[in-house]
Amino acid sequence: MIRQLPMRIRATHKSDVRTQFGALCYRVENGKVKILLITSRRSKRWIIPKGWPIDKLTPARSAAREAWEEAGVIGAAVNQCVGLYAYNKTSAQNGTLPCVVMVYPVRVKSLEPEFPEQNQRRVKWFSPKKAAARVVEPELARILRDFRPQQLR
């Protein structure tokens, strides 16, 4: 059972809140779960791959596409949201946009050495506990720390 922390979203109107899909990229090595984090392009803080909905793709497949573009992930997306988290996206065109990210697991088969954003990001594997300690958003930290692939349907 996923326990969801309350989210704080600062928006004047409900239409101000945007939805993104994130990829919780994982593998299991010798019975231990490892989680892949990437750095953001500007601040270089640790995050998961995420992005806007992609036409004609399910949320899980959109998350998997982001994982490929941002981290070179080749893997299988699971069509089961494992949690939500909120953050504020800052952009030059739109200022600050409140975003809610739906997180979908992606079991990593391999990492390609060449991918679209390879020169803009670092990619690193962590234990769930260490991954949770590296991210800023408390809801995302909880999702990473509590992730158990054996509980996926």
* Banded pLDDT at 1 (limits 50, 70, 90): very low
C-alpha R_g of the chain: 15
Q: What is the pLDDT of residues 47-72, one digit of tens each?
A: 999 999 999 999 999 999 999 999 99
For residue 80 the two structure tokens come to: 């089961």
Instruction: Tell me the C-alpha distance between 77 and 57, whole Å.
Output: 12
Query: Across the chain, where does the E strand assignment appear?
Result: 18-29, 32-39, 46-47, 50-51, 73-77, 83-91, 95-111, 123-126
Segment 97-110 shows an average pLDDT of 96
Average pLDDT of the chain is 91
Q: Considering the domain 19-151 in this protein, what is its CATH number?
A: 3.90.79.10
Instruction: Tell me the C-alpha distance between 153 and 150, whole Å.
Output: 8
Looking at the predicted structure, is the pLDDT value of residue 112 above 60?
Answer: yes
Q: What is the pLDDT of residues 71-96, one digit of tens each?
A: 999 999 999 999 999 998 887 777 78
